[in-house]
Structure 1
Amino acid sequence: MASSQTNLIFSFLLTLNFLFFLLPLPSSATISLCSPNAIYQLGDSISDTGNLIRQSTSPKASVFAHLPYGISFLGQPTGRCSNGLLMIDYIAMSLRLPLLNPYLAKDSDFSHGVNFAVAGSTALDSSFLAENDINSPITNSSLSIQLNWLKSHLKSICHTKKDCEEKLTRSIFFVGEIGGNDYNYGFFRGLKTMDEVQKILVPHVVQSITRTVMEVIKLGATQVIVPGNFPIGCLPIYLTIFQTNDTEAYNEFKCLKGLNGFAMFHNDQLQQALQQLRNAHPNVDIVYADYYNAFKWVLHRAPLLGFDKDSLQKACCGSGGGKYNFERRNLCGVAEATVCPIPETYISWDGIHLTEKAYMHIANWLIRDLTPKLKCLF
């Protein structure tokens, strides 16, 4: 009985979330991304809506297939790496589109787009990472694999190249966020220094992303959004592993300055590469999604947004206790982990991914930032 009541409550809250995005906003804050009729998403756990948990021969082996993941989204896990909805969910709702179904849910409705993102995926193929002594432990569904899925899907819905181009004219493509895991595995599993990761991986990650953007343009895409990286020095996983007694290593928000500098370097390199693509494809909207500053905006205004000022770098779901409540050997979802009483007061969900509420505010910031940068061609 209690479970049934809980599900009704979550259903009601989800409805309120959806209605919120249908409410008219002042003209200065109008949410509109040119009214596309489809979204195609490539990426990793920031946007995976259920591909990873369907990829395994034993899907329930993934912690993302179990509570407390999804506890705020109808009270059940969907494969999303959060307590509830993700940014791509809020963006879809703001466009009056259904939530994107994962590509590997083969019996799903894909009439308004497809989500190809896979949690744990990398921008670079696992073979390249292995050549540099970096292990990719979760999935081999790198960006190139996801691009092949996209091509296969389009072949199934397009009769001719012209037909495909017409369909894609009213579609938005998200290429990323991707590359974060390449760096994670480099730092945590390849035992690389920050300089090594920056020198060895960043140029290749950026090249992989831009190459994929060129490929989707060839397929007929006219609107492509390419996100950058978050300020990783503010995430509990990095704060725990790179914890130091050097107070100069932290900024005013107690984030690690060096790691944030690394994220900015990636973002700068990506933006320069995207500008070259814009010059080569002036009739295509190639827009950078500034995840870094969107996250900073939320962090700077956290108390005003209802987040607990004493838990800004703490994981809501974790087992580590202490400053960050993060333990690499006992992640969210294992028996030792506990969940904070009110996830809505936390930015970080599990030390790696964010809470539904944090994603909602970041998505709102991004939509307002992206809208004027997209030419409405229809």
Structure 2
Amino acid sequence: MAILMRVCWLLVFAMVFLRVGSGQNVDPVGPDGGGRREMVPAMFIFGDSLIDNGNNNDLPSFAKANYFPYGIDFNGGPTGRFSNGYTMVDEIAELLGLPLIPPYSEASGDAVLHGLNYASAAAGILDITGRNFVSRIPFNQQIRNFQNTLNQITDNLGAMGVARAIGKSIFFVGMGSNDYLNNYLMPNYPTKNQYNAQQFADLLVQQYNQQLTTLYNLGARKFVLAGLGLMGCIPSILAQSPAGQCSEAVNQLILPFNENVKTMMNNFNTNLPGARFIYLDVTRMFREILANSAAYGFSVINRGCCGIGRNRGQVTCLPLQTPCPNREQYIFWDAFHPTEAVNILMARRAFNGDTSFVYPMNIQQLANLELESN
């Protein structure tokens, strides 16, 4: 069965990659029977629970979301997405004209035609991050999983056609949240005693630089880097304050990381031939949504839709727990993650927003950009 699935997997990749490599347009029929204009051949996704869609389901891990009420608003129910419905990359995929990108752990047949999602809840830039949750797939292993994908495709289809298609594909990377929440800020980690905020940000981005360079050397050219959001305002952090207020200490803690990522991005755009990196200012997006919550239809901004304890942030969604009925009015779904409504808002801003939120260009412009081959 495994061999048969792999053969099917390679055949479908052959169809799209060889057509893209030969310059033909790829316009498969969408699930509703209508045509879909695909702006890129594929999207490859790397990250943590904000965009994981099932890679942890079969791991011996405490970081799982493959049970109700997760997925209560998703067609098909719980899948492993840490949301009531869509994640940010789900909406971005649709805006790019792609179907939803499947998890690496479940990829088979024509479901992998347009890329894979390698993200894993509790994963970090550092391999040691997230060990409290037992198993997870750190960024280094996610890259190795992509390399395994690439090796299998290239062995069967040839390097030139695959390289052209990979070079036109979007690589979405959202890493770093767990390196703070499930490493630096955890009392059973020594990290906080070893590094101040700037030193830790420097350590992270030094590693991040090497990891992204590896993806570039594997053929990736169009990168979307998501910065860290207002982590001091998530229900898990709010619950630690008797007054339920945002932690400015946590918000300040992550600023050096975001600044380092912007500097790294600028250096990449200058020094890596044929590549283009863009940065999603998630902090600014989230701050703007919080500041104008009523205008966006949100009436609950300081607690999760499901969860236990203060701000519904001390314990995350329990199996079969009944969540809030008015989910579209909540900014936060659980202790750590935004609702589908917020994910869709941020995805659309990333896709066609101006340079105050995504720069030096948005995802739509990146997808349409013709890069010089090298």
Distance 1:297 1:373, change over 3 A: farther
Q: Is the 8 A contact 2:66 2:78 kept in 1?
A: yes
State the AA in 2 paired with 1:183: Y
Aligned-residue offset at 1:191: 6.7
Find the aligned partners of 2:249 and 2:231 in 1 and give their Cα distance: 10
Structure 1 vs Structure 2 CA RMSD: 2.7
Residue range with higher mean Cα deviation, 259-268 or 354-363: 259-268
Tell me whether 1:273 sits opposite 2:264 in the alignment: yes
- 1:141 aligned residue: 137
State the AA in 2 paired with 1:173: F
Find the aligned partners of 1:293 and 1:221 in 2 and give their Cα distance: 27
Kindly provide the CA deviation profile for residues 144-168 of structure 1, in whole angstroms up to 9, marking residues without a partner as x. 1000000010111123332331121
Find the aligned partners of 2:291 and 2:190 in 1 and give their Cα distance: 32
- 1:183 aligned residue: 180
- 1:333 aligned residue: 318
- Specify every segment of 5 or more residues in structure 2 that has no aligned partner in the other structure, as ranges: 1-30, 354-361
- 2:46 aligned residue: 42
Q: After TM superposition, which residue ranges in structure 1, 4 or more long, deviate above 4 angstroms?
A: 191-195
Q: Is the 8 A contact 1:84 1:356 kept in 2?
A: yes
Q: Is the 8 A contact 1:70 1:80 kept in 2?
A: yes
State the AA in 2 paired with 1:272: T
Tell me whether 1:347 sits opposite 2:331 in the alignment: yes
Residue range with higher mean Cα deviation, 197-206 or 217-226: 197-206
- 1:85 aligned residue: 86
Aligned-residue offset at 1:194: 9.1
- Mapping of residues 216-295 of structure 1, within 5 Å: 216-241=215-240, 243=241, 254-295=245-286
Kindly provide the CA deviation profile for residues 252-298 of structure 1, in whole angstroms up to 9, marking residues without a partner as x. xx532222122222100111122122221142111111111111222
Find the aligned partners of 2:64 and 2:317 in 1 and give their Cα distance: 8
Aligned-residue offset at 1:110: 1.1
Find the aligned partners of 2:288 and 2:126 in 1 and give their Cα distance: 30
- 2:8 aligned residue: none
Find the aligned partners of 2:363 and 2:313 in 1 and give their Cα distance: 36
Kindly provide the CA deviation profile for residues 71-101 of structure 1, in whole angstroms up to 9, marking residues without a partner as x. 0112610000011110000000001101000
Q: How many residues align?
A: 325
Kindly provide the CA deviation profile for residues 117-163 of structure 1, in whole angstroms up to 9, marking residues without a partner as x. 0111111112xx5xxxx844243411110000000101111233323
- 2:126 aligned residue: 124
Q: Is the 8 A contact 1:100 1:114 kept in 2?
A: yes
Aligned-residue offset at 1:106: 3.5
Tell me whether 1:115 sits opposite 2:102 in the alignment: no
Kindly provide the CA deviation profile for residues 324-343 of structure 1, in whole angstroms up to 9, marking residues without a partner as x. 1222xx321246x5411211
Residue range with higher mean Cα deviation, 93-102 or 107-116: 107-116
Q: Is the 8 A contact 2:67 2:319 kept in 1?
A: no
State the AA in 1 paired with 2:87: L
Q: Is the 8 A contact 2:43 2:172 kept in 1?
A: yes
Distance 1:48 1:170, change over 3 A: same
Distance 1:145 1:136, change over 3 A: farther
Aligned-residue offset at 1:193: 4.6
Helix, strand or coil: the match of 2:341? Answer: helix
Find the aligned partners of 1:371 and 1:315 in 2 and give their Cα distance: 29
State the AA in 2 paired with 1:233: G
Find the aligned partners of 1:338 and 1:72 in 2 and give their Cα distance: 13
Find the aligned partners of 2:301 and 2:193 in 1 and give their Cα distance: 25
Using structure 1 for the length normalisation, give the TM-score: 0.79
Find the aligned partners of 2:64 and 2:149 in 1 and give their Cα distance: 28
- 2:96 aligned residue: 95
Q: Is the 8 A contact 1:210 1:274 kept in 2?
A: no
- 2:306 aligned residue: 317
Find the aligned partners of 2:66 and 2:175 in 1 and give their Cα distance: 22
Helix, strand or coil: the match of 1:202? Answer: helix
Find the aligned partners of 2:194 and 2:352 in 1 and give their Cα distance: 35
- 1:360 aligned residue: 344
- 2:18 aligned residue: none
Q: Is the 8 A contact 1:187 1:197 kept in 2?
A: no
Q: Is the 8 A contact 2:63 2:121 kept in 1?
A: no
Aligned-residue offset at 1:349: 0.5
- 1:302 aligned residue: 293
Match of 1:168 among 166, 169, 178: 166
Match of 1:154 among 150, 157, 162: 150
Distance 1:240 1:74, change over 3 A: same
- Specify every segment of 5 or more residues in structure 1 that has no aligned partner in the other structure, as ranges: 1-17, 24-31
Distance 1:81 1:148, change over 3 A: same
Q: Is the 8 A contact 1:89 1:100 kept in 2?
A: yes
Find the aligned partners of 2:57 and 2:364 in 1 and give their Cα distance: 36
Find the aligned partners of 2:63 and 2:199 in 1 and give their Cα distance: 30
Distance 1:319 1:168, change over 3 A: same
Aligned-residue offset at 1:232: 0.6
- 1:13 aligned residue: none
Find the aligned partners of 2:250 and 2:365 in 1 and give their Cα distance: 29
